[in-house]
Amino acid sequence: MITISHYLAVGAVLFTLGLIGFLTRRNLIVMFLSAEMMLQGVAINFVAFSRHHGNMHGQVFTLFIIAVAACEAGIALALFLSLYRKKRTLDVSVWQDLREAGIDETTDAQPLTTTPEDADPILTKAGIAPKRPLEETNV
Protein backbone atom coordinates (compact mmCIF):
# COMPACT_ATOMS: atom_id res chain seq x y z
CA MET A 1 0.00 0.00 0.00
CA ILE A 2 1.24 3.48 -0.84
CA THR A 3 1.33 5.81 2.14
CA ILE A 4 1.87 9.54 2.50
CA SER A 5 5.57 8.96 3.15
CA HIS A 6 5.96 7.55 -0.36
CA TYR A 7 4.45 10.68 -1.90
CA LEU A 8 6.57 12.90 0.31
CA ALA A 9 9.69 10.99 -0.71
CA VAL A 10 8.89 11.42 -4.41
CA GLY A 11 8.23 15.14 -3.88
CA ALA A 12 11.48 15.52 -1.94
CA VAL A 13 13.45 13.70 -4.66
CA LEU A 14 11.94 15.92 -7.37
CA PHE A 15 12.68 19.06 -5.39
CA THR A 16 16.26 17.94 -4.66
CA LEU A 17 16.97 17.04 -8.29
CA GLY A 18 15.57 20.38 -9.40
CA LEU A 19 17.68 22.24 -6.83
CA ILE A 20 20.84 20.42 -7.90
CA GLY A 21 20.08 21.12 -11.56
CA PHE A 22 19.41 24.78 -10.86
CA LEU A 23 22.60 25.28 -8.89
CA THR A 24 24.95 23.34 -11.18
CA ARG A 25 23.83 24.38 -14.67
CA ARG A 26 24.44 27.65 -16.48
CA ASN A 27 22.02 27.32 -19.38
CA LEU A 28 18.89 29.40 -18.80
CA ILE A 29 16.56 26.78 -20.25
CA VAL A 30 17.94 24.01 -18.02
CA MET A 31 17.72 26.32 -15.02
CA PHE A 32 14.10 27.09 -15.87
CA LEU A 33 13.23 23.40 -16.22
CA SER A 34 14.95 22.69 -12.90
CA ALA A 35 12.86 25.38 -11.22
CA GLU A 36 9.73 23.82 -12.72
CA MET A 37 10.82 20.44 -11.34
CA MET A 38 11.12 21.98 -7.88
CA LEU A 39 7.60 23.41 -8.22
CA GLN A 40 6.22 20.01 -9.18
CA GLY A 41 7.89 18.41 -6.15
CA VAL A 42 6.18 20.97 -3.92
CA ALA A 43 2.86 20.37 -5.71
CA ILE A 44 3.08 16.62 -5.03
CA ASN A 45 3.67 17.35 -1.35
CA PHE A 46 0.67 19.71 -1.23
CA VAL A 47 -1.60 17.08 -2.77
CA ALA A 48 -0.28 14.38 -0.44
CA PHE A 49 -0.88 16.49 2.67
CA SER A 50 -4.29 17.51 1.36
CA ARG A 51 -5.29 13.90 0.89
CA HIS A 52 -3.86 12.91 4.27
CA HIS A 53 -5.74 15.62 6.17
CA GLY A 54 -8.97 15.18 4.21
CA ASN A 55 -9.36 18.74 2.95
CA MET A 56 -9.04 20.35 -0.47
CA HIS A 57 -6.75 23.27 0.41
CA GLY A 58 -3.58 21.61 -0.90
CA GLN A 59 -5.22 20.53 -4.14
CA VAL A 60 -6.62 24.00 -4.79
CA PHE A 61 -3.20 25.51 -4.11
CA THR A 62 -1.68 22.99 -6.54
CA LEU A 63 -4.05 24.20 -9.26
CA PHE A 64 -2.74 27.72 -8.70
CA ILE A 65 0.84 26.41 -8.93
CA ILE A 66 0.08 24.74 -12.25
CA ALA A 67 -1.59 27.90 -13.61
CA VAL A 68 1.35 30.07 -12.55
CA ALA A 69 3.80 27.58 -14.08
CA ALA A 70 1.97 27.73 -17.42
CA CYS A 71 2.09 31.54 -17.42
CA GLU A 72 5.73 31.45 -16.38
CA ALA A 73 6.59 29.14 -19.27
CA GLY A 74 5.19 31.59 -21.83
CA ILE A 75 7.02 34.54 -20.32
CA ALA A 76 10.24 32.56 -20.00
CA LEU A 77 10.11 31.52 -23.66
CA ALA A 78 9.76 35.15 -24.76
CA LEU A 79 12.59 36.17 -22.43
CA PHE A 80 14.90 33.40 -23.66
CA LEU A 81 14.28 34.33 -27.28
CA SER A 82 15.02 38.00 -26.72
CA LEU A 83 18.16 37.23 -24.68
CA TYR A 84 19.40 34.77 -27.31
CA ARG A 85 18.85 37.26 -30.11
CA LYS A 86 20.90 39.87 -28.28
CA LYS A 87 24.05 37.88 -27.43
CA ARG A 88 23.56 34.56 -29.29
CA THR A 89 23.97 32.49 -26.11
CA LEU A 90 21.91 31.43 -23.12
CA ASP A 91 24.87 31.02 -20.77
CA VAL A 92 24.15 32.80 -17.49
CA SER A 93 27.75 33.95 -17.03
CA VAL A 94 27.53 36.10 -20.18
CA TRP A 95 24.77 38.23 -18.65
CA GLN A 96 26.97 39.90 -16.01
CA ASP A 97 26.06 43.39 -17.28
CA LEU A 98 22.49 42.96 -15.96
CA ARG A 99 23.71 43.09 -12.34
CA GLU A 100 22.89 45.95 -10.01
CA ALA A 101 25.37 48.78 -9.69
CA GLY A 102 28.01 48.12 -7.05
CA ILE A 103 27.91 44.30 -7.25
CA ASP A 104 31.16 42.75 -8.46
CA GLU A 105 31.16 40.42 -11.43
CA THR A 106 31.81 36.75 -10.82
CA THR A 107 34.39 34.86 -12.85
CA ASP A 108 34.40 31.17 -13.66
CA ALA A 109 37.34 28.96 -12.82
CA GLN A 110 36.89 27.22 -16.16
CA PRO A 111 35.14 29.47 -18.69
CA LEU A 112 33.06 27.86 -21.39
CA THR A 113 34.42 27.64 -24.88
CA THR A 114 32.48 30.02 -27.10
CA THR A 115 31.63 29.64 -30.74
CA PRO A 116 31.76 32.49 -33.22
CA GLU A 117 28.60 34.59 -33.20
CA ASP A 118 27.74 33.87 -36.82
CA ALA A 119 28.22 30.10 -36.49
CA ASP A 120 24.56 29.07 -36.68
CA PRO A 121 24.03 25.35 -37.24
CA ILE A 122 23.28 24.23 -40.76
CA LEU A 123 20.52 21.64 -40.78
CA THR A 124 19.86 19.27 -43.65
CA LYS A 125 16.40 18.59 -45.03
CA ALA A 126 14.52 15.64 -43.57
CA GLY A 127 15.41 12.34 -45.25
CA ILE A 128 18.71 13.54 -46.74
CA ALA A 129 21.85 12.20 -45.14
CA PRO A 130 24.39 14.93 -44.33
CA LYS A 131 27.64 14.96 -46.25
CA ARG A 132 30.58 13.68 -44.23
CA PRO A 133 34.18 14.80 -44.48
CA LEU A 134 36.54 12.52 -46.44
CA GLU A 135 38.38 11.45 -43.25
CA GLU A 136 35.24 9.89 -41.80
CA THR A 137 34.16 8.09 -44.99
CA ASN A 138 37.48 6.28 -45.50
CA VAL A 139 37.53 4.74 -42.02
Q: For position 15, which CATH number holds?
A: 1.10.287.3510
Q: Check whether 20 has a pLDDT greater than 80.
A: yes
Summarize pLDDT for 23-36 with one digit per residue, the tens. 998 888 999 999 99
- List the Cα angle 8/9/10 in 5-degree steps: 90
The span from the CA of 24 to the CA of 30, in Å, is 10
Q: Check whether 118 has a pLDDT greater than 60.
A: no
How many domains is the chain built from? 1
Q: What is the mean pLDDT of the chain?
A: 85
pLDDT more than 90, % of the chain: 53
Summarize pLDDT for 62-92 with one digit per residue, the tens. 999 999 999 999 999 998 899 889 888 888 8
The residue-averaged pLDDT of 30-43 equals 95
The secondary structure of residue 126, as a DSSP letter, is: T
Q: What are phi and psi of 103, to 5 degrees?
A: -100, 125
Question: Is residue 133 one of the residues assigned to a domain?
Answer: no
Question: 18 is in which domain, residue-wise?
Answer: 1-94
Question: Is residue 112 one of the residues assigned to a domain?
Answer: no
Question: Is residue 38 one of the residues assigned to a domain?
Answer: yes
pLDDT of residue 137: 56
The span from the CA of 19 to the CA of 38, in Å, is 7
pLDDT of residue 112: 63
pLDDT of residue 106: 76
Alpha helices (runs of H) in the chain, residue ranges in sequence order: 4-24, 28-53, 57-87, 134-137
Question: Is residue 89 one of the residues assigned to a domain?
Answer: yes
Angle between helix 57-87 and helix 28-53 axes, rounded to 10 deg: 180
